[in-house]
Structures are given as C-alpha cells and as structure tokens.
Amino acid sequence: MPPDAISLAVFKNLFASVAEEMGLTLQRASFSPNIKERLDFSCAVFDAQARMVAQAAHIPVHLGSMPASVEHALRAFPDLGPGDVVVLNDPYRGGTHLPDVTMVSPVFVSGEARFFVASRAHHADIGGMAPGSLPLSTELYQEGLIIPPVKLAHNGERDEGLLALITANSRAPQERQGDLEAQLAAQRVGERRLLALVETHGEARVQEHAAALMAYSRQMTEAIIARIPDGVYGYEDFLEGDGQSEGSIPIRAAVTVEGSSMVVDFTGSAPQVAGNLNAVQAVVRSATWYCVRLLAEEDVPVNDGCFQPVRVIVPPHSVLNPDFPAAVSAGNVETSQRIVDVVLGALAQALPERVPAASQGTMNNVTFGGMADGVAFVFYETIGGGHGGGPLGAGISGRHSHMTNTRNTPVEAIEYGLPVRVTAYALREGSGGTGRFPGGWGIRRVYEFLAPAEVTLNSERRVHGPYGLAGGESGEGGRNTLIRGEGEIPLGGKAAVRVEAGDRLVVETPGGGGWGAVNG
C-alpha cells in the first residue's frame, strides 16, 4: 500500500522520536550545564543522500545548518563502515562556530548505509583566546580548536588519542570528555532505534515513507509560499559593531515571491568584517528557512523538503559569506538573529496581519572562566528577553526567541558548580515596546564573582531596540554594566573584561517591539 495520510503521520512521529530519544540521551548523560540544563544541542536523522528526514524540536540554527555537516562528513569519508563516527566543528566545512561540535554516524541495513544520525552540541569551551570560545576575535584560529571531519570512532572502537587531543585543548577537559561521550551515546541510541524501526516495518516501507514525508513537506512549504502575494519585498537592519570597531553593519534582504517559490537575496549586505560577527552560509540558510516555516498555519514536518522551494543568494566576501579564516564565533548566535529580523521585516510588508514585531534580536551571550582553589572553571549561557507583540497578542516576556530555543540556566546550576552568585534575576518591567499588543519584557540578571575571571560578552540591540510594526513602538534596548566597588562601568554590546572577586556583572536584555498603534 502506498503511504496515506495516517501512515505518514505515524512515520513522521516515528522518525522524530528517534531524534528526540537521541536528545534525551545526550541531555541525561552530559556534564555541562549548557547541555544538561540549557539544552543547547540538536539531533536529526538523514537518509543515504544526506537529506534530512526528521529532526527533534531543538535549536533552529543548528538543525537548518546540520545538513551541511553531514554532507562534508560524507565527502571526507565516502566509505563509512558500521561503528564509524565522524566528528567536526569547522565552520567552513559544514559547521557553524567552533563550540558547536557535530557527530555523524551511518546506520547500516542489509550491508549498506541507508541512514545517518547526527548530533550537534554547544561545548562550553573548545579552547581559543578566551574562556568559553566566543572571543572578540579577528580570525578563526583565535576561537578554538578547529576540527575538520575526522573519525572519532572506527568499527566501533573509539580513537582515544583524538579524544585526548580534543579534551586537552579545552579549559575544562573532564567536562569536555563527559559531553563528548554523551554525544557518542546519543549516536548509538539513534542507530539502535532506526534499526528497530526497520526491523518492525521493513526497509522498503521505511524508505518509502521517508521519501514521501520529504515530498509532503515540500508541497506544504510551496502552499505556504503560494499564499504570499507575488512581489519583491525588501528590508534592512543593522548589527551594532563587530567587537573591533563601533558602527552599524547593514544586513539587507530582498524577498521575491513568485507563485509557490521564493528567492531571498542578501546582496547589498556589508562586506565581511574584521571581528567575529561573520556568519557562514549554512547559518544564513538556516535562519532564512526558519522564517518561512514560521508562516505555517499547521505543523509541517521539518526535513529536506522544506528547504527546496526557497532559494537563498548570499554574496561572496560578505559578512554573510566570509572568506576563510575570517572570525565567525558570534555570527552563529548574533548575526543569525538579525537575519531573522530582516527576513521577517520584509515578509511583514507582504503579510502585515501575520508577522509580529521584532523580538529581542540577540542571544545575550555570556562566557567566563578562570581558576578557583586550583581548579579551572568555565561557563557559557545565553539569556532570554522579550518577544515581539503580534497581530494575535502581546509578546512573551523573559524567553528565548527565534534562532535559539534553549532554556535560561537555573540559578542553582550556576551557583552549585561555579564560584559565582546570582544576586538578581527578574523581568525588566516595562521594557517592551508599547502598542496595541505590546512587546514582552526583557530580563535583568546579576552575577557576583567569588573568584577572578575573564568575561566575554557578545550581545546586540544595545544601541537600537527591536523594531515595532504596524504603528507599535520599538522595545527598550539592552545594557551591560560592570559594578566594581561603588562604581559602575558601562560595557558595550561586545566586551572582554577581567573581573575580580566581589565584582558584579549586570546583563539587562532587550524588550520586544510593540505591534499596532495604541489607539488604532
């Protein structure tokens, strides 16, 4: 029997459950708060042609870019065998930024690699010039250990030398080893679950439904685009300095809709910059595809079919398509958010009653590390903020938005494992933009350091607040401040600073933009 609506729904959930169980394994076996508590990881299933079949509901910026990692892994090792695992993080060979470490392994059925499973986790430190591996860098080499596609396991045997090399380049080697082993466990779980799926339903039926699901998702995405009025819609927004110099960095997009296809052209965006805000093409495509999926009125299975109707044009030598070895550590976390703001700003012209105002537009990246009682510590987190108000209601407060889908790190997890006390954690009342439907509020978070540390901040929307739409006002921008003794030292959106015991870091995140005129 060919696939029907019922069997497609069943197999959609079966494939997704493989990725979800991989994610649960990774979370439970991991060591770092960033993976265990914030859930900064993603898992997915691919077919023999490296096409995404299913993903878990994890991190959007990971999942839309992970196909490039699988493609590069297979390009480097076209003859992977059972028990092999490829590891990589090189942004110029399928990665996003160096802390995101990806593993890819084949699933053999009847002697052939019929599927692949992949996991990507953000490791709290992968080396480089600053704790947390998100420095205010000027080249990739400063950002940490670069891992091209290499085999971490061969025929089921782990390469202990390679594992030792990776962990030795981290400021927290035991934590790195634990998180890498958690990823390896997730890979094994994914392989077992796919094999069980094939054993239960038969290889032909599983392959048939994988192909049918991709075709279905393509049709649904084409239907989404077909409901957008034909035309060309442009928008421009700005990044606020690259960590090396101040000044606005334009991101421009022209969205052309014709029938059931869409072209998103970023020509006119800034040339590549000296600092770390450059984003590789995989990140740009991921953010663009995410915006189209937001327009769906019903659940669309996220797989390779979703990507096909949308063509993305990214000019070479630009901040969205830099030349190796340009720095990219914040491109994945900050530039991706601005790409979303720009694409949604363009789509709002075509669909003014569908698209909300801008959300906080930043991940508010905080990294720090040092030594306490002779033991190294390192920490990374992103902090939520306000969502934009929209045609259906006010924006949510204090939540992550768009290209990050993590949790805020619990205060208890920070204080338990680090020489840090969180002395304040609250919403920034009134920080959302006013409007018929106001934007959500940002967050105020205060860290008191109990030991000296090196701190790096990568954040945006400190100069220009998130935009409002349809007559709504912009949300309030964020602020970063260092309190030392009785003095307050304003920090910019990008900052690297040495703190001493007793210093306090205050991070205030942006509120979302408002939607609609108050009296409209």
Q: What is the pLDDT of residue 210?
A: 97
Q: What is the pLDDT of residue 520?
A: 65
d(CA 67, CA 302): 12
Over range 319-342, report the average pLDDT: 97
pLDDT higher than 80, residue 1: no
Provide the 10 A C-beta neighbour count for residue 245.
Answer: 10
For residue 150, CA distances in Å to 111, 153, 168 come to 23, 9, 17
Q: Among 139, 164, 149, which Cα is nearest to 95's?
A: 149
Residues 256-312 pLDDT 10s: 999 999 999 999 999 999 999 999 999 999 999 999 999 998 888 889 999 999 999
Domain limits, the chain: 5-217, 356-520
Residue spans of alpha helices (H) in 266-327: 281-294, 304-307
pLDDT higher than 80, residue 457: yes
Q: Which residues pair with 444 in a beta bridge?
A: 426, 508
Q: What is the largest CA-CA distance in the chain?
A: 75
Q: What is the pLDDT of residue 299?
A: 83
Query: Which regions of 259-333 does DSSP assign to beta strands (E)?
Result: 261-265, 310-313
The first and second tokens of residue 177, run together, are 């080893």
Rounded percentage of the chain residues whose pLDDT exceeds 70: 99
d(CA 469, CA 471): 5
Beta carbons of 505 and 447 less than 8 angstroms apart = yes
The first and second tokens of residue 228, run together, are 């957008």
Q: Which helix (H) or strand (E) holds 471?
A: none
HEC profile of 400-431: CCCCCCCCCCCHHHHHHHCCEEEEEEEEECCC
Over range 7-13, report the average pLDDT: 95
Residues 113-143 pLDDT 10s: 999 999 999 999 999 999 999 999 999 999 9
- pTM, rounded to two decimals: 0.96
